[in-house]
């Protein structure tokens, strides 16, 4: 992140670039079968949300590659990550509705 700041980028863009690099490295190391070895050595330290999520998408895609790109990679890629996305989005909508109901300042009409 310091390299991005050195280049004159602000904090938000630097954080975005750092996240993109972490996702890329996680997916790349999963494809080389190195991420699992790091996971065995580091334990839960390698499964921070952003890298673990990238790993959970790439692993099934590589496993079912032999079944073809559409029915293998495309259909099986979200077997692990799909429910996480569905429940995460659903929970955020429910929390937003509860917040809207209990926050009286947002209910006043102008």
Q: Which residue has the higher pLDDT, 19 or 46?
A: 19
Same domain, residue pair 89 and 62: no
Same domain, residue pair 85 and 68: no
Place of tokens 């580091």: 42
pLDDT digits over 7-30, tens only?
677 778 888 888 888 889 888 988
Q: Is the pLDDT of residue 95 over 90?
A: yes
SS3 sequence, the chain? Answer: CHHHHHCCCCHHHHHHHHHHHHHHHHHHHHHCCCHHHHHHHHHHHHCCHHHHHHHHHHHHHHHCHHHCHHHHHHHHCCCCHHHHHHHHHHHHHHHHHHHHHHCHHHHCCC
Same domain, residue pair 69 and 57: yes
94: confidence class by pLDDT, cuts 50, 70, 90: very high
> What are φ and ψ of residue 63, in 5° steps?
-65, -40
Domain ranges, residue 69: 2-77
Please give the Cα distance from 38 to 25 (Å, whole number): 12
Sign, Cα dihedral of 66, 69, 71, 72: positive
Same domain, residue pair 63 and 109: no
**Count of domains for the chain:** 2
pLDDT digits over 48-62, tens only?
777 777 777 777 777
Question: CB of 55 within 8 A of CB of 35?
Answer: yes
6: confidence class by pLDDT, cuts 50, 70, 90: low
The mean of the pLDDT values for the chain is 76
Phi-psi domain of 109 (left: phi exceeds 0; alpha: psi -120 through 50; beta: other): beta
């Amino acid at each position: 992140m310091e390299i991005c700041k050195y280049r004159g980028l602000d904090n938000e863009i630097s954080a975005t670039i750092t996240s993109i690099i972490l996702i890329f490295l996680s997916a790349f190391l999963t494809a080389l079968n190195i991420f699992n070895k790091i996971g065995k050595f580091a334990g839960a330290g390698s499964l921070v949300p952003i890298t673990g999520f990238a790993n959970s998408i790439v692993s099934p895609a590589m496993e079912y590659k032999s079944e073809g790109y559409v029915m293998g990679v495309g259909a099986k890629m979200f077997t692990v990550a799909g429910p996480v996305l569905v429940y995460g989005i659903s929970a955020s909508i429910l929390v937003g509705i509860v917040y809207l109901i209990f926050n009286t300042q947002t209910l006043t009409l102008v």
